[in-house]
């Protein structure tokens, strides 16, 4: 779980968004979902993790390091 959270945080930073915003775009998560995962109050299912990883793969960070506006 920690590895996935680190992956999500790194992706969010690379695209200039908050992890909450990425989750909202990827799976329609509510704004408190990220915090619940970080605090161990809940965990994503493997299906959810797969959906998020597909979203990340389909929306890679810019290669030139510029953050999207």
Q: How confident is the model at residue 4 (pLDDT cuts 50, 70, 90)?
A: very high
Q: How confident is the model at residue 66 (pLDDT cuts 50, 70, 90)?
A: low
Spatial separation of the C-alpha atoms in residues 61 and 1, rounded to whole Å? 22
pLDDT given at position 22: 97
Looking at domain 2-58, which of 3.30.70, 3.30.420, 1.10.150, 1.10.260 is its CATH number?
A: 1.10.260
**What confidence tens digit (pLDDT) does each residue in 13-28 have?**
999 999 999 999 999 9
26 sits in which H/E element:
helix 19-27
Extents of the domains making up the chain: 2-58
pLDDT given at position 68: 53
**What confidence tens digit (pLDDT) does each residue in 31-61 have?**
899 999 999 999 999 999 999 999 999 999 9
């Amino acid at each position: 779980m920690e590895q996935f959270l680190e992956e999500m945080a790194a992706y969010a930073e690379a695209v200039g968004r908050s992890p909450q915003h990425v989750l909202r775009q990827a799976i329609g998560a509510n704004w408190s979902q990220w915090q619940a995962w970080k605090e161990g109050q809940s965990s994503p299912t493997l299906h959810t993790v797969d959906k998020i990883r597909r979203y990340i793969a389909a929306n890679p960070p810019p290669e030139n390091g510029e953050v999207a506006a």
